[in-house]
Amino acid sequence: MLNSSTLVFNLLSLKISKIMKKVKVSWNFKFPHVIYGNPFSPIAVCVIYKYRYPDRGMEVTEEDLNQYKRHIDLCKRLVSYGAAVAGLQNTELGIVFVTETLLSNPNIRWLIVIGKVGGHRIDLVYRCIKSGHYKGISNYLSRDLFERFRKQIRIIDLIGNDPFEFEKDLKRLIEAAYQEEPTKVTINNESFILYDMGAYEEALHEQSLEYEFLCLDGLFLIKAKNIRHAWLSTINLVNTYGHVVIDHRGKRLTLPYPLLLIVKDPLDWDGLNIASMEEYFNKSFMKLDFTDERYTYGNRIFKWFKVNQFQEALNKMKASRLTQAHITLYDPSHDFYSDEIPCLTEIHLKLNKKEINLRASIRSWDVSRALPFNLYALSKLLKQASEELKVSVGKIIVVSDEPHIYVTY
């Protein structure tokens, strides 16, 4: 049992070691499909992956499962050779998770990108970063993270090559990155000069991630500054206190207690990639009709019960019926008998003096990938409500029964 306590967490736990010229880093901040190794290592490896992740075994083929194990075993070997992290990326949007992983550790100064590109143009993402062409990557990464990536990380481009055929070369590159003196490694007639540059010093002076955390008997509470801080702190919490659950949805690292998450400034979108957030909002919250999907949140909010629940909730508030501004997305007559049911089950709007707050209930929440998109969409609804009611935007409060991260190895 965890003791009740109020703490302020620094995600990086930065401490300078003058001897090693390194930064002490906690690996509590983790994403799926990544193997984590020595946090003092200066080099990481990203393997471009053209297969489907087996997050849910019933949705993937036998080849997907076999290839996933093969590639994850490779990542484990790369970490054993000395890489700080080695992981898989199978879409362009994965650059968000790669960036957050790398920038959470100022010791990482090199990134090897290798693998054959499939239907997604992941190669263009990394070549835009390497050349400084932000416009080509603006749909996937915010400007501030793009600039920070370019300052801290040097990319070794082996895109197009089979990582299994080049495993010995990857080992040579990893070993060279540990050297104090510049060391040349030649691959396919191209030379790379690597050395251990030490921690990225500017990171030591940047604002670290801080959040308030309270553990009660049967409840976790996080109070975060904005959406990005809420995202990273919740990932940290699940990786620290989660336990493994295996059921029909697969294998997940899950908090043992429900989570109460408070976002103090939900319109502070600093660090988020607004283009991808807007794409999600328009597809999931503003799309009223669906074909191949079992539901969209927009359909449930604006159309499912043959009523625009969002507008009616605002009408209730205008009529001073303040406790009745409630929106339900869960339909027992349908969802008890369906395999695909909403994770977001209800939304409640609440006036507190001259500001409006939004509380949401999320029964099952993939905090590593879905959380920032969900919170951004809810913040857009909250902003619309504040504008129509002519009040200030307050907080977003989320109650989640099962915050989790998929674990697949």
What pLDDT does 49 receive? Answer: 96
In 255-406, DSSP assigns E strands to 259-263, 326-328, 344-352, 355-366, 392-406
The full DSSP string for 134-177 is: GGGGTTTS-HHHHHHHHHH-EEEEEETS-TTTTHHHHHHHHHHH
What pLDDT does 294 receive? Answer: 63
Q: Identity (one letter) of the amino acid at 377?
A: A
- Tell me the fold of 210-406: Thymidylate Synthase; Chain A (3.30.572)
What pLDDT does 21 receive? Answer: 77
Residue 117: both structure tokens together = 């590109």
CA distance 172 to 384: 55
Closest to 212 in 3D by CA, of 7, 4, 3: 7
CB 112 within 8 A of CB 173: yes
- Over its length of 409 residues, how does the chain's per-residue pLDDT go in tens digits? 333 333 333 333 333 333 447 888 877 778 889 999 999 999 999 999 999 888 755 578 899 999 999 999 999 999 999 999 999 999 998 998 999 899 989 999 999 999 998 878 899 999 999 999 999 998 888 898 899 999 999 999 999 999 999 999 999 999 999 999 999 999 999 999 999 999 998 876 555 677 888 988 889 999 999 999 999 999 999 988 999 988 877 788 999 999 999 999 999 998 898 988 999 999 999 877 655 446 789 999 999 999 999 999 999 999 988 888 999 999 999 999 888 889 999 999 999 888 999 999 999 999 998 999 999 999 999 999 999 999 999 999 999 999 999 887 6
Q: Residues 238, 149, 162, 94: is their CA dihedral positive or negative?
A: positive
| DSSP 8-state secondary structure symbol assigned to residue 319 | T
Residue 167: both structure tokens together = 């495993």
Q: Where along the chain do its domains lie?
A: 11-205, 210-406
CA atoms within 13 A on the CB side of 126: 27
CA distance 18 to 23: 9
What's the Cα-to-Cα distance from 317 to each of 274, 306, 308, 309, 382, rounded to whole Å? 30, 20, 15, 12, 13
CB 392 within 8 A of CB 386: yes
- Beta pairing, strands 85-89 & 43-48: parallel
| DSSP 8-state secondary structure symbol assigned to residue 408 | -
What pLDDT does 60 receive? Answer: 81
Give residues with Cβ within 8 angstroms of 327, minimum separation 6: 301, 309, 310, 313, 346, 347, 348, 349
| DSSP 8-state secondary structure symbol assigned to residue 250 | E
The full DSSP string for 89-144 is: E-SGGGHHHHHHHHHT-TT--EEEEEE---SS-HHHHHHHHHHT-GGGGTTTS-HH
Residue showing tokens 């929106």: 327
> Rg of the chain over CA atoms, in angstroms?
23
Closest to 387 in 3D by CA, of 359, 356, 349: 356
What pLDDT does 18 receive? Answer: 38
What pLDDT does 246 receive? Answer: 85
In 4-108, DSSP assigns E strands to 6-10, 16-17, 22-23, 34-36, 43-48, 85-89
Would you give the distance in Å from CA 43 to the centre of its chain?
21
Residue 374: both structure tokens together = 């969900």
